[in-house]
Amino acid sequence: MSRKPFEKFINQPESGAKKKERIRQEKKKMREEKNAWFEEQKRLARERKNEARQGNTSGLRNSGSRSENLKAEPGPKRGGVRKPGEKLYSNPHRTTRPIIKKKTAPLENTASEKTRTLSTSADNDQMPLNKFIAWSGVCGRREAAELIKAGKVKVNNQTITEPPFRVSQKDHIKVNGKKISIQKNLVYILLNKPKDYITTTDDPEGRKTVMDLVKRATAERVFPVGRLDRNTTGVLLITNDGELAQRLTHPKYEIKKVYEVHVDKPVTRQQLDLIAGGIMLEDGFIQPDAIAYANANDKSMIGIEIHSGKNRIVRRIFEHFGFKVKNLDRVMYGIFTKKNIERGKWRMLTEKEIRLLKHLNTSFGNKKTS
């Protein structure tokens, strides 16, 4: 069974020179990001130092004006007649510095001001609440924002419904009644998901989840990155790195996903061209990055590359043309394939793979935000 038309999407061989250049560019990006981070820390330190200096100089100016007033006060001149017990002259430099009390305006009695006072840690130790939840390994930042808006998160025994609300590790944070803290040991697991498993950390209906397959992999609390339908198989990343999960699922980074689709009847060349040109679905326009026959001898086997994170997007594309998807298998996610991983099995990522994953398509995100 030939798969050559589909192999252009996966496992493309790199020449020696091209591979060296890619590695060189990745190292260059890592150095630039590291240097930018250190420069930002230096800038913040300078700003804090300048603020401290300005506070001190303002106090000195106030005390200086007081000293000038004391100097201007008339006193007995040298050689003049002085009364008993009176000093010959007064030294203005020996005056004590006056204590200046800053007046603080009273806080407004509003809900936002009230919640801002919950956390008393320094600003450099704080982070958004949804980011804290993601770093604790509960779920990704998007899912964390939904939990917060649903009123399922408490900070210091007060319900918070604003995801950007800033917290620190000193705060007492609970999600669904369970106390959480930031994970120190980051774990990265690559799973070849089988059918009949749902992509979630738990299920109220008692159905099998992907967490049942990796429960012996680590003692840390981990969660799946993105979602695969119950009957969709293939590559799935599971981790407790919430920051990475946020980036991998954000549309601006355009993380590549390649699927092998088996539909109930042959797909014509005209239909492939229509899909390749983009179609309008109920939630907007969608256009795959590439599409071709996965098997030259079987027109019902299609390979499609897409970076959209919309719900059930591949199935909906083919259902739009009246096809019924019999099997859907994700054969590639980012830089990973299911090679050497049997269905239902998993493996840990190597240190090299983790480094590559953390810098995957970072230039895309920089271009979008610049």
Q: Which residues are catalytic?
A: 229
Rounded Cα distance between 243 and 134, Å, is 7
243 phi/psi in degrees, rounded to 5: -65, -40
Q: Reduce the DSSP state of residue 341 to 3 states and report it.
A: coil
Q: Which residues contact 122 (CB under 8 A, 6 or more apart)?
A: 168
> Could you identify the residue written with the tokens 């198989």?
233
Q: How many CB atoms lie within 10 A of CB 4?
A: 10
The first and second tokens of residue 271, run together, are 């239909």
Q: How far is CA 129 from the centre of its chain?
A: 12
Residue 97 Cα distances to 52, 59, 72, 92, 108, angstroms: 18, 9, 17, 11, 34
Within a 13 Å sphere around the CA of 120, how many CA atoms are in the beta-carbon half?
Answer: 1
Q: How far from chain centre, in Å, is Cα 299?
A: 40
Question: For the chain, how are helix, strand and coil distributed in percent, rounded to 5?
Answer: 35, 20, 45
Tell me which residue of 198, 226, 228 sits closest to 210, measured CA to CA: 198
> Do residues 248 and 188 touch, judged by C-beta distance below 8 A?
no
Q: What are 116's strand-pairing partners?
A: none
